[in-house]
Amino acid sequence: MTLRIERVQSRIRLIGQFRTEHLDHVNGEIEWCGSPVVLDLEEFDLVDVEGIRFLNACEARGILVLHCSRYIREWVSRERSSEARAQRKKERPPLEGEENEA
């Protein structure tokens, strides 16, 4: 199964599998709806890491994500924590003995 998108006013329902190749299409639907947008993931069953990052970015933009399964919600949370750690590491000066990656 691929991804099916149903849009009713500002609610976008994603059904099926969400993969990297769907990002532009879903983003286009979000842009078309304007604001506020709600993503409904009730029948959303499979996602890749880029899809998880996309969901994080949506939430950061104020887009409400509803009916998210537990495993996807946990993955979103872990990815958000991982990105925050990487950002903090980039921002802090290197500790003694660490090489500067810049």
Q: pLDDT for 2-27, tens place per residue? A: 899 999 989 999 999 999 999 999 99
**Residue 25: enclosing H or E segment and its boundaries?**
helix 23-33
pTM score: 0.77
What domains sit in the chain, N to C, each tagged with a CATH number?
3-88 (3.30.750)
Q: Report residue 101's pLDDT band, with 50, 70 and 90 as the boundaries.
A: low
Give the whole-angstrom CA distance, residue 55 versus residue 46: 13
Q: What's the rounded Cα separation, in Å, for the pair 56 and 92?
A: 23
Helix ranges, 34-93 (H): 49-60, 70-91
pLDDT tens by residue, 30-83: 999 888 899 999 998 889 999 999 999 999 999 999 999 999 999 999 988 887
**Residue 99 reports pLDDT greater than 70:** no
